[in-house]
A and B are shown apart, each in its own frame.
Chain A
C-alpha cells in the first residue's frame, strides 16, 4: 500500500508527533520501506490460525484489591515539568 502525504499527516495527528513539512518526504520514503518489508507477510496463508498475543500461555494473576505500594505522591509530583500541591499543570483546556 503506497502512503501519501495525507497518511503522514493523519499518523502525525494520531501519534501526537509533529512532523515538519520539510521532513514529510523523507519520513514518507523511510516508512514506505518498512511497510514494504512488513507487507511480505501478506502472502502467507493464516486461515484457522489462532493469533498469539503472548509468548507463554498464562492467565492474568489476580490478587486482593489492597494497596501494596507505599505512597510516593510527592516524589512523583516533583517529577512533573509543572505541578502544584496535588496536580500536574497543563495548558488550560476548558475556556
Chain B
C-alpha cells in the first residue's frame, strides 16, 4: 500500500482488495515506525481516524464513493478540525481544540477521506526549514541531518517517507513548493482565491493559499478537485467553475510555449540547479514544446516587498493571540497590560516575534508610506510583469529553490539567508498566480525540483504539463533509500 498512487488506492478500495480500516491501520503503523525519527506529525488520533475509516467502509459498501473516499490524508496543523488539537506549530495554541472545521477539512470529510493526523510546520507558517515549530524540527526523509523545507515541512516529510499517501499544505511565499522540491515531491499552490481560507489559521491574508503536496501531478489533480470550492465564509473566495483537473492531464502539449525569465536564468542561479533545469527544458523540447525568453524585470524586488507585506499582515492577524479568548496565557502578571506583554513574549517563538515587530515597524506612524505603501506599489509592478509575460507564453518555467536541502541549524542564526530560500517562489504569491514544483532530479543524492507558473486559474494547464513530464521521467517515483 505504501507507494500506491491515490488512483491505485481508490481502485484497491473500490475492488475490496483492502478496506479503509486496513489502509488506515497500515499508515498509522508507518507513523508509529517512522515518526519518532522524522517528527512529521504533531497530533495523531488513532480512534478518530479509524472511526472515519469505518464510516468510509460503510459508504464504499453502499457504492457511495468518490475518488478520495476511505483514503487517509495528512492535514497540515494550520487547518482547524473539529475536536482535533490545532496548534499551527505554536505554544500559543498548544491547548487549542478547534470547535469547528475549516472549509478544507469539511470538504475532505464530505468526500469521505480519513484525517490521518495533523502535520508539523513552522510556527504560524513562518519559516523555510520547519525549525521554528514549537514541536521540534522535522527531518528530511532523504537525509535525517537535513531540513525538509518549510513551512509545510511536516506534510512533505510525511508523504516522502511513506507515512501518508498525500497531504494538505499552505503557501504564503513558497511553503508548498519549497518543501516539495526539497523532499522530491509534487506540490501545487493554486491561484489565490481558489481554495477557501475559512478556518485556515491566518498568516498573511492577501498571500495565504492552500494546496496539496503529493507524489505526482495526477495525485495533486485529485486533491485539488476536492479542495477547490467557492465558500461564502471567505470573502476572497472566487466563484469559479472548477474544471475536472484529471480530464485534462493527457491533453496534447505539442506546439505550446513555455517562457524562460531571463532574470531567473542569470549568473546567480546555482550551476547544479541550472544543469537540472536544462534537462527539464530538453525533455519538454522533445515533446514539441517551444521555449521563449521573457522578462520579469521586477522579480528581484519580491523578497523585500514580501518582507514588508507579509509581516505587516501578520502583525495585524496575530494580534488576536492576547491570552483572553483562547490559547496560552502567561501565569504571572500584575495587570492587563503585563498579561498581554508576557503572554505574547512566552507564547510566540523568536521568528514569529521578529515578524510581528517588523510588521509593527513598517505600519507605524511615519513609516507607512515609505514601506507599506511603497511595497504595495512594487507589488503591482511585479504582477504586471507576469501579465505581460503571459501574452507571450502558456506557462513560465523557473527554479523552485536556490539549492537542495540544507543542514539542520545551518541558517537559523541568519534570518535574511533563510528568507532567500523563497527567492524564486515569492513573486507568484505577490501576483496571486498558481505554480507547481515537480521533482526534476538529484544533486548529491538530495532531490531538486523545477517550477511551472501558470496564468490565473489555469491550474489545469500546469497539471497537464507536469503530468506529461512525469510520463517520460521517473524522478517523482523515487523514494528515500533509492539509489539516486
Residues in A lying within 8 Å of B, measured CB to CB:
7, 10-12, 14-20, 27, 30-31, 33-35, 37-42, 44, 46, 49-56, 58, 60-61, 63, 68, 72, 75-76, 79-82, 88, 90-91, 93
Contacts and interface: CB of A to CB of B under 8 A. Distances in A.
A27 B432 CA distance: 32
Nearest to B207: A55
B380 A52 contact: yes
Given A18-B342, A37-B416, A49-B380, 9 more contacts: A33-B414, A34-B354, A40-B301, A41-B308, A44-B298, A44-B374, A52-B379, A81-B324, A91-B335
Nearest to A3: B361
A61 B357 CA distance: 32
Interface of B: 96-97, 99-100, 192-193, 206-207, 232-233, 235-236, 238, 298, 301, 303-305, 307-308, 315, 319, 322-329, 333-342, 344-345, 348, 353-354, 356-358, 360-362, 364, 370-371, 373-381, 383, 414-416, 419, 430-432, 456
Nearest to A13: B341
A61 B232 contact: yes
A90 B238 CA distance: 39
Contacts of B361: 7, 11, 31, 35
Contact of A41 (B304, B329, B415): B304
A58 B240 CA distance: 13
Does more than half of chain B's interface fall in helix, strand or loop, or is it mixed?
A: helix
B150 to A, nearest CB: 18
Nearest to A48: B377
A49 B377 contact: yes
Main secondary structure of the interface of A (DSSP, over half): loop
Contact of B360 (A15, A37, A53, A76): A15
A30 B193 contact: no
A34 B415 contact: yes
B285 to A, nearest CB: 32
A56 to B, nearest CB: 6
A51 to B, nearest CB: 4
Given A34-B307, A52-B376, A76 B344 contact: no
B307 A38 contact: yes
B232 A63 contact: yes
Contacts of B416: 33-34, 37
A34 B100 contact: no
B99 A16 contact: no
In order of increasing CB-CB distance, the 4 nearest A-B pairs are A55-B432, A51-B376, A81-B329, A52-B380
B368 to A, nearest CB: 11
A35 B338 CA distance: 28
Nearest to B359: A15
A16 B357 CA distance: 10
Given A91-B335, A91-B336, A31 B358 contact: yes
